[in-house]
């Protein structure tokens, strides 16, 4: 399995970030930088560092598609109320089955399905 570079948003949680680190991925947790960093700044930092943003915040869709902000990949989890264990399991499955599609794409996971958009 390939190793990826992620920027994990605070709404996804430190447990997911630590799980990814344990899996050999290069991970920055947004809460370790600035708990209140604006989404546009997170996306810009991730792009500069060639990191895939892992988030539960739908505002990233607007930044990518309406504002045309550059990115190195976004994985949006649409899992309201999910536990940390559920998020960890889903992220591991996505990386295992679709990891090569994450870089440079906007991916949305919802109700057991992953949509990959350019």
Question: What digits encode the pLDDT tens for the residues 36-92?
Answer: 899 999 999 999 999 999 999 999 999 999 999 999 999 999 999 999 999 999 999
Distance, CA of 90 to CA of 112 (rounded, Å): 9
Q: What is the pLDDT of residue 78?
A: 97
Q: How far apart are CA 42 and CA 97, in angstroms?
A: 26
- The Cα 21–Cα 16 span in angstroms is 9
Tokens of 32: 């370790």
Place 6 in a pLDDT band, splitting at 50, 70 and 90.
very high
- E strand intervals along 11-105: 26-29, 52-55, 74-78
User: Token digits for 25?
Assistant: 């991925």
Cα separation, 12 vs 57, whole angstroms: 9
Phi, psi of 77 (to 5 degrees): -95, 115
- Give the predicted TM-score (pTM) of the model: 0.96
Q: Which residues pair with residue 5 across a beta bridge?
A: 26
Give the model's pLDDT for residue 35. 85
Among 16, 40, 41, 42, CA closest to 27: 16
């Amino acid at each position: 399995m390939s190793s990826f570079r992620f920027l994990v948003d605070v709404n996804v949680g430190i447990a997911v970030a630590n799980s990814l680190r344990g899996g050999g991925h290069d991970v920055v947790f947004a809460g370790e930088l600035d708990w209140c960093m604006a989404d546009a700044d997170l996306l810009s930092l991730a792009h500069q560092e060639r990191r895939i943003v892992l988030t539960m915040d739908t505002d990233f869709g607007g930044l990518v598609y309406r504002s045309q902000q550059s990115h190195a990949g976004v994985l949006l989890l649409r899992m309201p109320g999910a536990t940390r264990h559920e998020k960890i399991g889903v992220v591991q499955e996505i990386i295992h089955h679709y990891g090569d599609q994450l870089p440079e794409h906007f991916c949305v996971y919802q109700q057991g399905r992953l949509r990959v958009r350019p």
